[in-house]
Structure 1
Amino acid sequence: MQLVTLIKSKKINPEQLFMLSVLAVNGGNYLYNLLLGRLLGPTAFADAAVLITFLLVLSFAAMTFQLVTAKFSVLFENSVFKSFISKVYQQAFLVGLLFGIAIIVFASSLQDIFNTSSSTMFVVFGCGVPIYFLMSVNRGVFQGKKSFKSLSVTYQTEMWSRLLITLGLIFILDITSPVIIAVGIFASFLFGLIPFKYFTISLKKQVVLGIHKKAIRSFFLITAFYELTQIIINNSDILLVKHYFESYEAGLYASLALIGRIVYFIAWMFVMLLLPTVVQLKKDGKDTAPVLFKYVGYIAAISFTIVLVCFSAPELIIDILFGEQYIAMAPLLWQYAIATSMFAISNIFAYYYLSLDKYVPVVISGVFGMLQMALVVFFHDSLAQVVHMQIIAMVLLLIIQVVFFKINHKKA
């Protein structure tokens, strides 16, 4: 009630409301993963972690459409905007359909590659992929137009439906199969469409974007490339560990990754605010660097705090969140947090330059994403070594991003 009163009295603006909403969503997603970890145990949680990782991969792939939609929703108006949105919806649904079909067709192969107990979970997941892509375009409209209340609702409905439906099915049916996890994820995509701008879709409408096509295509391709690097950096380690290690060890590592990545999920909140703000400042001819400094400062402070806490009480944190059966990962917790902190800060630089149509930092991220994956492929004698390889790659990535910024800012 106090929050509602504050909102009505305008003491909380839409951006602050969105930030609070994102914190709630991240908290709900963490609760979802923590409960699964406790209910399933390390071995079964390893299968669930594969699905959760697939969900993260999907979110990065669909983020391409969301960011493209957000950027050009700032720049386009009236009939051009409507034509653009119609076209993006069509293409997003087509790409999502192709991805979904591919996952369904290769479900058995995915089961063999990631050593899961079921292929059906991939089939169910694949059915929901086209819906997720439509949801991402819808969110891009809200993000670009700074309709943060509607944007908050879409994330809230997705998170709460996944949490409640999944846990409800587990307790009611008394089944811990990964298929149940997949059903919960599929259902959350449907709820994530709320509220949905149905009227902006026109499959029969002739879309004429003229001179804007080249700009849209260029930004789409470079954003797709960058999101691919995000997929590699943020998810390849869990999938590679699932491939190279036994299910028990993979489940332990999944718990470590979930705790350590809290920095990245908080940083994502600032990225959502960064892109439309930088695009608008550039459009108005204003200096954009202060916005970058502000968000880098926020993430650096949060990262330092999280690493310090993970270093000070790793066993207590893991015991509270996952239980004693995961306690073996305690010595690696603060080290993994360092890797994700370096990535989160460098990610702010990359998205900043992406907003300004400068793509060298994107290429840099791609190079170091491949480096991280290569290091893990060649050096995976232990889970500790896997974490150390990621620290090396991410520290180097941040150093290069900072050097690029100083050189570019000095020239400017």
Structure 2
Amino acid sequence: MTIESGSLTMLEKVLLQRRRKEDRVVQNLDKQVKAYQAKSFENFINAGVRVNFRESETAGPLVGSNGKMLGFNEYLVDIWGEELYRVSVSLRQNGQVQIRHLDGWVKVSEYLCHLKVKVDPHYTNGTPEMRSDLQSQWWRANGKAFPLLQLPRELRDIIYHYSFGSKIEPYPTNKARLGAKAKPQRGTALMRVNKQVSSEIRSLLGRQSPFLIEHNRIMALLLSSPLRRNHIRRLELALSHKEFINLFGFTFPDVHYETRWQAKALRGMQLKHVMLRIAAPSLITGSVIFDGACQRVATGWILAAAWPVVKGHSVEIAGFVKRQQRVEFEAACLVVKKGFEQWNGLRVAVGHPEGSLGDYDEWVDWVEGEDDGGVRVVEEPSQEAQRFVPDCQVGELPPRCECGLPCTAREWTEE
């Protein structure tokens, strides 16, 4: 193919204006730029090679031997929208476009190597999600498949954990979230790769990542499957005061809340960690029982309601809770946990399988009900735990705050 160049007449300029969208030279240049970017991740995040080509005002046409215009012989290179360079181009016999650089014709990749490196700010200053998205874009650009299943299981587990983050928010788009702008959970697409990957992810997340529960309906959906309950090892319940009482059940004057099935299900789960995150005090809670209530009293009700369900688990109390309440409750749960572990050790020693906390509850009830010489082989709960467990005294609703410092979110203190 022979290439001719020259000045344009007025008519030719009009015709070229209409045919700019068919500029094959620019198409070839763009193709080479994309190939260079996809060659390595370092090239992909180098904003210095994200260039756009547009013909300069002094450009002449490149016309093939068949008289068809292929593009222009001169272009302006727009680098990241900040710098403009004027470059000459030529078309080789093999159809490859080259750029004039340092008194010679070079491939586009060689020209890009001489441009100033500028790392994409979305990678250097962005969130982990932004950096992960850039990596995903690079994999799509280079057309390669990541050999996930060829990696050792330990490395795959690291990838799974990083993909989903430190916490799992199940059913992020469920209507129970009351119109919150919930985004799909990170990494969910990974679970659709195949059954093996999905099974490995479910097993790993159940063991290592806490499931964040902010609505009772979400908790009911999460625990509705016995198989799923068997995998979950960590829960974080971050409910409102009203939702906590609706979940665990409690009795107020003239009002009784039944314990929900999903709360009772916790007694049969092998949880390694349960966090109860107490919400901040508020004048508007959606419940006349808690609107403007004393936070110390309200927290006492929640902990008393939670006690029959979470005792024996490894429990952490967080959020707006007084230090003394938190320490006493966690210590009481630890006492029951030690008794449960001792009981399970005895079961295994005599050839029985390990039991659940629900089984332990039944055994404790049986021992305490024995009148003919039944002997307890575990220690009695401490007096502190016994003083904490009974239901809180309920007076007027909502209870007025009589603390030394007001129970408000602004003036809150753990003491």
**TM-score normalised by the shorter chain: which range applies?**
under 0.3
State the TM-score, normalizing by the size of structure 1.
0.24
Higher relative contact order (CA 8 A, sep 6+): 1
- Greater Cα radius of gyration, structure 1 or 2: 2
More strand by share: 2
State the TM-score, normalizing by the size of structure 2.
0.24
More helix by share: 1
